Amino acid sequence: MHRSALSLLVVEDHPTIARQVVEFLEGLRWHTDHAATGALAIDLATREAYDVVLLDLNLPDMDGLEVCRAIKQTAARNVPILMLTARDAFEDKARGFRGGADDYLTKPFDLRELALRCEALARRHQLHVSYEMQVGRLTLLPRERRALYDEAPLALTHAGFKILFLLCSAHPHAVSRSRLVHELWGADPPDSDALKSHIYALRRQLELASGANMIVTIPQLGYRLTLDTASHV
């Protein structure tokens, strides 16, 4: 059965469990980042746009519930959080859900069930995505794969629209190069730096429409959409 590619953050400090989960999910050709601490998890979730966060409650530097609340408060969008824990008492689950978790899976778990729950959470989140996205003077129509600037259509390629959609979804945060490459080509990216060419073409189209550079390069990370029409970075 075909599985749509997801982008996940695995927050787990136990190296064996983390390796098993990451290897299984990457075997599904899903983009997977790993954080072994709560601080790194919050940092990544704030900078990246994940479909689901898999969050262990027992972390070395801070409580998982605290991490959950921080991600919900600071992430660019309401990313679904699946808590992973050995705590199976009703009171523990109640605390997890009240702390902001969207689902709860008790260790040990079947990796196949983990994947199914990730897909279900991602679909549930997508149910609330509007058929029209408005970011500043940009309007995106995802179902039609069309983008407008001040109601004038932009001449975008398939890849250009996908990049713009990801940048708009993450705004005002950046999207990493690895996330963009994965979304465009999955686990088989081209050998050449095709992403840079697509970014250049998209940047040119936006500049023609707005008179400014709307895509800012973030060194050692990726790209960010800016609505500051005075920007010429």
Query: What is the tens place of the pLDDT at every residue in 35-67?
Result: 999 999 999 988 787 889 999 988 999 999 999
* Burial of 155 (C-beta count, 10 Å sphere; 0-12/13-18/19+): exposed
Query: What is the tens place of the pLDDT at every residue in 80-111?
Result: 999 998 887 888 888 888 888 999 999 889 99
Claim: this prediction has a pTM higher than 0.85: no
| Cα–Cα dist 10/25, whole Å | 10
CATH for the 7-126 domain, from 3.40.50.720, 2.60.40.3500, 1.10.8.60, 3.40.50.2300: 3.40.50.2300
Query: What is the tens place of the pLDDT at every residue in 108-118?
Result: 899 999 999 99
Q: Is 102 left (phi over 0), alpha (psi -120 to 50) or beta?
A: alpha
pLDDT of residue 47: 79
Which residues fall within 8 angstroms of residue 110, CB to CB, at 6 or more apart? none
pLDDT of residue 76: 63
Domain definitions of the chain by residue range: 7-126, 133-225
pLDDT of residue 4: 64
Q: How far is CA 155 from the centre of its chain?
A: 26
Query: What is the tens place of the pLDDT at every residue in 14-39?
Result: 999 999 999 999 999 898 999 999 99
Q: Name the CATH topology of 133-225.
A: Arc Repressor Mutant, subunit A (1.10.10)
pLDDT of residue 216: 93
Q: What are phi and psi of 183, to 5 degrees?
A: -65, -30
Is the torsion defined by CA of 211, 143, 74, 115 positive or negative?
Answer: negative
Query: What is the tens place of the pLDDT at every residue in 149-159?
Result: 998 999 999 89
Indicate the pLDDT class of residue 228, thresholds 50, 70 and 90. Answer: low
| Cα–Cα dist 215/206, whole Å | 8
Number of H helices, E strands in the chain: 8, 12
Is a pLDDT exceeding 50 seen at residue 3? yes
pLDDT of residue 103: 92
Alpha helices, H only, 28-76 = 38-47, 64-74
Average pLDDT over residues 61-77: 86
| Cα–Cα dist 186/205, whole Å | 25
Query: What is the tens place of the pLDDT at every residue in 159-194?
Result: 999 999 989 988 888 888 888 888 888 767 787 789
Indicate the pLDDT class of residue 125, thresholds 50, 70 and 90. Answer: low
Indicate the pLDDT class of residue 1, thresholds 50, 70 and 90. Answer: very low
Is a pLDDT exceeding 60 seen at residue 232? no
